[in-house]
Structure 1
């Protein structure tokens, strides 16, 4: 809502020296979001006056049409002689009144005006357009972007700065949904009056005639959708009447475009009082005005020229011929007053109060947000409809020479004020400070509430505040008016707790370990679409294809909850690669959602109270399985090259090593086997086991998936089921025992067939070495002609240590020989060189 300060002063006698910035601070202090204060006319300096064109000489010797004009500016130039001005615009004629800026003036943008020679003549000033005066590309008096042509009644030489209200301050206020009353000057003036402690001149407090039997006929078929409608008629409207300058300028400053007098007046009253209205050309309305729901398939062409297929939930304004408007959203083209109003001599004015939810649904259903729908869906003042209609009639009589007809139609359901019971100390308990009953009552009365009672207050909310429905709403009003800045800063007393759970501690350890290994945590939204599963090559029958679809997704492209962490991480990787980061290692921990399809349908508990235990249990039973996963993705250089030597490019082995790092933090032994699982490359995919349980996969992504996702070649990835790892750990991780005895290291190189997995050889060595084996590490893989075709050499470093003694060389050698023997028996391994 844009609120000109000059307009605000009409309803509140603000101090004379108060600036827009001062008002901004006061309104912010009472809880309004004032985003900016625009300084209109900043840098403007006169003389800027009204002139009359006396003569025009067409200069035809130039490439574009140029006119040399004589303009009477009265005594504004100090001589009384006409000003000679060169101008290229053609939308004015001899005798027209125009806006002239004289030499010595400065226009917005620090544009200095001086007499200068151009097109062979001396131009003594400039004839101005709206944009040159900082008024925007306004259609001022129909002039479009051309020269401003003023009505003939303005005096030559008059100050145009004051006439056009060029200098002003406009507050741009972001109105929250619960404060719809602030989408009007009436509401903002009320807040300003409270902030300054000054009286308010309410523009809605005007004399309104009572309804009678002579008004325009109205029939409401849906009282739930429209509980109040006021209709007034005016005749003898002067179709040639134009909106006066003050009216056009106020609309422009508020961000609206002047159209025609009747339409401008309805828009002005809407901005002033907050009640949207609609003006119909009476000659184009057939019979009584009605309010009803649409029939399925019914059509209406709205004012924007779009034909809309209506829904049964849409509320309509109708006449005998059918729909003439989407109630509370936009009028229909069939009964509109045209842009000029040149053919309209009689007007029917409609001011109604509509159900906010119905209007909001219609506006969203048709993707048609309007100034009217913004106000109706936030809740308007039902008692302001009659005053707004009367104000519109008064302005039409004043500005268009119209005649107000005696008939007044008001069809209304009985108004029932909303009352709220609240303890007088409730705001004290909410804010954690003491206001006292007197302050609470005074503040509630300032916002328009009627208050009675002593310790238990009965508060009657004003008609313009439909958001005041509960004691907390009233407490918020007291607190904001007393000042959020005045609330004491007190720390809440923290309840005694047991600290982090074992699962939380584990997640932190894992995060620190991966960060220490060079990974960066990336948090992503838990949403996916079918498209990314296609890109990953997930097969149709894969359980990851069974997703939980959201009823109201943030994006239609990602309507489901994720079943794997990889899509989000790979999207983050692609985004960073696109921004110039080529060496990346990312990780994420988070829940995935794995429905079985057998979950019962969830109940729909009421929103007016907390669900009971049975309902909560039913809701929990309807949830899908939600294990916590961990995933990493990496590409580019794992170790950069430098003076210290060659670097190392990230590959499948690094993804497997990340899994080993996680398993070490959990305290479980990870077994790596060859696997095949999309989106990994079938020849470079490791299946990760703890015992006999599959807990994840790691390796290099399939080239087809890499190409489909637009990520670098040879990208590696790993995903683990953290919950499964934690279950396998069997309890807290124990710190390793530090031995005081020395270690005995034995290296062995075993030759095996090329198809024998290194993991099988490692498992055999561990089993054969027995309890003395402390650690085992594969440090070399060799293939060559000397080994024979189809053979490879695996070199392992075995570390032996006893807990109670120093091992002898014979004991260490015996343990090594037992390990080699087990490997030979189970995998056919032969000691290299034997």
Structure 2
């Protein structure tokens, strides 16, 4: 936001110097990025008119001018400006005027006397334009000091605004903050309604609901099309970074900069009425002010004339209804549009306008009526014309309402660490335009309608802190007392799991939560992926649904850089689309690992071998042991897993993840020429543990019985073990698989499994009869359920 210093001071009188004003603005959160001084030291520079201009006898590019400076006898000035001509009104630096270290003196140029210097805008220090003399209006009073005529000296101040301070996209909005910070008062603003002179009006229709709850308009007929923008207005616009165009356009720009309300002026003769606001329809188009043809879908808010699209609401007006140099009848509009209805619409068309910038951040819903009256007064006062009635259409129930906020005295002290006097609290809040009513423990505060950023008590406390002064809040070191939260005994903490994998020779990685949609598709994991509205790049376009695609990609990059043995793990969230539209994505915390290369680091004590399924299964089992989890492994049908070398991981009958070797087809697609083994499980399910309970140890001896059985190759140990545990009952203390054999003596399609049963009772010593009964029951159960036979 750029504005004129003098313009701001006209709204909030203050004795602060320019440097103090800039420092104050920055201190209260309106960071000053640049201050450009304009028109300093313009003593003896006056408004003058060139009476005549003749070619210099000795120089082709110089002219000998006779200049009327309001002192009676014209002065002779030699000038080289290309636009110097008879009748031109321009600034004249008299003899004795100083520009920095340079002083104007009487001199001879190529033999011709010159008694002063006609000036460009750059020489006056008010613009960078040095292409010619600064041309002033023909009615500028000759002999008047230029500083007085142009409102100089002045400064153009540019501030950097955060998105929540949309109220400061206006001079008057900034004035409230300055008044509060400097102890001044904002000058009352005159928005008295302009009397109706004619009956001309256009009906207004609102058909966009809460997207456009207020629209104000007014017709003014008989405007002088030749009326020029006055110097004071043009200069304020220039110093605010806006180029003056024409009176009607400049008035709307001026009101927007002063009040913060974007406006638009239509040529009344191009409108038939009624004027309406509605959602656009797919296939509609409108020619904009800049000449481009905008193709619309059903997501835009448009202004219509008898249902014909004539402007993009909150973004830009239309070409066919624009005001021109021939416009005599004008229709002014000022409306309130909801930020959500404007955000991103301009960017869809490659547009960014001052109006959209403001509407996207929020404009005071009470401003349109004031803006119409102020703009009407300016147009009628500067270009004549007769105003019709101010017409307003409003959906009161859809307008934002500012609710009362309870501000507690004790809460201020608690948050800021200091006490602020009640009188100072009330002064600051009232200076910011808030309604303040005292209560038993503090105040009830209603923020002005322009302050969309104030909704809770902490927002008010922030206002007090920045205006009272952050420098007045003492810096206090922490006392050292720390509140230590006891970790839950029902869950193994993440740090312990990380340390366990690090101890097993794995390195932790941290990958982006955003991945390439094509990568997820390659893994068959694209279902339910959440796309990003504004991705950083095409390779980071969706939220990850699994950890393994990103983790294995990291492994592949390491392998491509000649790392032969890679062991990586990651702990992070995965995301899935919500069940209901509008809800947040579902997040699940998982832990994953991926390994390749040799099972052990290079050494002499053990023969080298490649890492396999059982190595990584051991790593996963070590994590499960920390929580006491008993994991079960069942054949997996995951498409990215190697058939026969991958399994789904279960705990208590619930699937919690996957472990296995990647499918060779996937490895080739990922450009991996080595076998990769990986796992990924839900962390919450893996880390959950029961509270430990003390139990009595048996005082009686245990008995071990070993069984060797023949069973079909397709029968898994987990299935067999579950049957043994059920059949053996409560006296089975432990079960070990200590041998697996296939080959000579074992039929094809069969395998021999040798297991050890540890039996023990808490109340007595087991007899041989007890043990034999249990073993017989086990043999009968596994034979019945799995076709297992005792190996001879």
Short-chain TM bin: 0.5 to 0.7
1:403 corresponds in structure 2 to 385
Partner Cα distance (1:526, 1:586) in 2: 22
Contact 1:229-1:350 at 8 Å conserved across structures:
yes
Give the C-alpha shift of residue 428 in structure 1.
3.7
Instruction: Determine the C-alpha separation between the residues in 1 that align with 2:439 and 2:244.
Output: 52
1:503: Cα distance to partner? 4.3
Report SS of the residue matched to 1:444. helix
Distance 1:56 1:421 in 2: 69
1:335 aligns with 2:312: no
1:648-659 matches, cutoff 5 A: none
- Which one of the candidate residues 533, 536, 540 is aligned to 1:552? 533
1:41 paired to 2:26: no
Contact conserved, 2:205 with 2:274, CA < 8 A, in 1?
no
Q: Matches of residues 594-609 of structure 1 in structure 2 within 5 Å?
A: 601-603=578-580
User: How far 1:484 moved relative to its partner?
Assistant: 3.3
Q: CA deviation at 1:442?
A: 4.1
- Counterpart for residue 168 of structure 2: 182
Which residue number in structure 2 is paired with residue 799 of structure 1?
none
Distance 1:445 1:76 in 2: 50
Alignment partners' CA distance in 2, 1:454 and 1:594:
49
- Distance across 2 between alignment mates of 1:568 and 1:82: 81
- State the partner residue of 1:647: none
Matches within 5 A, 1:2-17: 2-15=2-15
Would the alpha carbon gap of residues 507 and 145 (structure 1) be closer, same or farther in structure 2, given more than 3 Å must change? farther
1:263 offset after TM fit, Å? 0.7
Give runs of aligned pairs for residues 222-301 of structure 1, distance below 5 A.
222=207, 223-301=209-287
**Structure 1 residue 217: deviation in Å?**
1.9
Choose which of 54, 59, 79 in structure 2 pairs with 1:85.
79
Alpha carbons of 1:22 and 1:228: their partners in 2 closer, same or farther (altered >3 Å)? same
Distance change (3 Å), C-alpha of 1:309 and 1:267 = same
2:495 to 480, 489, 504: 504
Q: Deviations over 1:714-735 (max 9, x none)?
A: 999999769899x999x9xxxx
Indicate if the aligned counterparts of 2:376 and 2:387 stay in contact, CA closer than 8 A: no
Q: 2:355 aligns with which of 369, 372, 381?
A: 372
* Shift in Å, 1:261: 1.0
Q: 1:448 aligns with which of 422, 433, 439?
A: 433
Structure 2 residue aligned with 1:491: 478
CA distance in 1, matches of 2:40, 2:117: 17
Name whichever of 495-504 and 354-363 sits farther off.
495-504
SS of corresponding position for 2:327: coil
**2:402 and 2:446 in contact (8 A); partners too:** yes
Contact 1:251–1:268 (CA under 8 A) maintained in structure 2? yes
Deviation for aligned residue 1:307: 1.5
The alpha-carbon deviation at position 623 of structure 1 amounts to 4.1
Distance apart, 1:209 and its partner CA: 4.8
Aligned to 1:684: none
Instruction: Render the CA deviation track for 1:135-158: whole Å, top value 9, x for unaligned.
Output: 4467xxxxx965432212224454
1:418 deviation in Å?
2.7
Mapping of residues 431-442 of structure 1, within 5 Å = 431-435=416-420, 439-442=424-427
Conservation of the 8 A alpha-carbon contact between 2:39 and 2:147: no
Verify the 8 A CA contact 1:286 1:321 in the aligned structure 2: no
CA contact (8 A) 2:513 2:573 kept: no
Aligned position for 1:469: 455
Would the aligned equivalents of 1:52 and 1:71 in 2 still touch at CA under 8 Å?
Answer: no
SS in 1 for 2:404: strand
- 1:230–1:408 contact (8 Å) kept in structure 2: yes
Shift of 1:192: 0.8
Q: 1:270 to 1:631 in 2, by over 3 A?
A: farther
Asked if 1 retains the 8 angstrom alpha-carbon contact of 2:39 and 2:152, the reply is no
Alignment equivalent of 1:383, drawn from 343, 363, 366: 366
The 5 A counterparts of 1:498-577 are 503-504=494-495, 507=498, 525-529=512-516, 541-543=522-524, 548-557=529-538, 558-561=540-543, 563=547, 564-565=549-550
1:352 to 1:717, Cα distance in 2 relative to 1, 3 A? farther
Moved more, 409-418 or 313-322: 409-418
Q: Cα distance, 1:239 vs. partner?
A: 1.7
Residues 370-427 of structure 1, C-alpha deviations (whole Å, 9 max, x = no match): 2122222333233332222221122222322x13325332333447853324153343
**Deviations for 1:571-614, whole angstroms, at most 9, x for unmatched residues?**
999xxx9xxxx99x99997556778xxx784346779xxxxxxx
Taking the aligned partners of 1:289 and 1:527, their CA distance within structure 2 comes to 46
1:257 CA drift (Å): 1.4
| Contact 1:592/1:629, CA 8 A, preserved across alignment | no
For residues 10-89 of structure 1, what are the structure 2 equivalents within 5 Å?
Answer: 10-15=10-15, 18-19=17-18, 21-30=19-28, 32-41=29-38, 48-57=45-54, 67-74=61-68, 81-87=75-81, 89=82
**1:424/1:455 contact within 8 Å kept:** no
8 Å CA contact 1:522–1:572 kept in 2: the answer is no
Q: Deviations over 1:292-323 (max 9, x none)?
A: 33233221111122222223342222223712
**Deviations 1:314-346, CA, capped at 9 Å, x for gaps:** 2222223712211222111111113xxx21222
Q: Are 2:365 and 2:400, in contact at CA under 8 Å, matched by a contact in 1?
A: no
User: Given that residues 233 and 407 in structure 1 are in contact (C-alpha distance below 8 angstroms), is that contact kept between their aligned partners in structure 2?
Assistant: yes
Query: Which piece of structure 1 moves more, 147-156 or 42-51?
Result: 42-51
Deviation at 1:251, TM superposition (A): 0.9
List per-residue Cα deviations over 1:671-726 (Å, max 9, x = no partner): xxxxxxxxxxxxxxxx9xxxxx97899xxxx99999xxxxxxx999999769899x
Residue 361 to residue 81, structure 1, CA distance change in 2 (3 Å): closer
Residue 188 of structure 2 aligns to a residue whose secondary structure is coil
Counterpart contact for 2:40–2:125, Cα < 8 Å: no
CA distance in 1, matches of 2:320, 2:556: 51
Equivalent pair of 2:56/2:62 in contact (CA under 8 Å): yes
Say if 1:471 and 1:545 are closer, same or farther in 2 by CA, change over 3 A: closer
1:561–1:592 Cα contact (<8 Å) kept? no
User: 3-state SS of the aligned residue for 2:343?
Assistant: helix
Residues in 2 aligned to 1:246 and 1:572: alpha-carbon distance in whole angstroms = 65
Instruction: Decide whether the 8 Å contact of 1:565 with 1:630 is kept in 2.
Output: no
Aligned residues: 640
TM-score normalized by the length of structure 2 = 0.65
Partner of 1:98: 90
User: 8 Å contact 2:315–2:355 — kept in the other structure?
Assistant: yes
> Gapped runs of 5+ residues in structure 1?
139-143, 608-618, 633-652, 669-686, 688-692, 707-713, 732-834
The answer on whether the counterparts of 1:547 and 1:594 sit within 8 Å (CA) in structure 2 is no
The equivalent of 1:626 in structure 2 is 590
CA distance in 2, matches of 1:83, 1:458: 68
Given the alignment, which residue of 401, 404, 412 partners 2:394? 412
Q: Contact 1:298–1:309 (CA<8 Å) still a contact in 2? A: yes
Match for residue 199 of structure 2 among 186, 206, 214? 214
1:264 to partner: Cα distance: 0.7
Partner residue, 1:775: none
* 1:795 matched residue in structure 2: none
Q: Does 1:392 align with 2:375?
A: yes
Assess if the C-alpha contact under 8 Å between 1:97 and 1:152 holds in 2: yes
Give the distance between the partners of 2:134 and 2:47, measured in 1 at CA.
10
- Partner of residue 681, structure 1: none
Is the 8 Å Cα contact of residues 413 and 419 (structure 2) preserved in structure 1? Answer: yes
SS in 2 for 1:455: coil
Superposition pairs of residues 425-436 of structure 1, within 5 angstroms: 425=409, 426-435=411-420
| Greater CA drift, 158-167 or 206-215 | 206-215
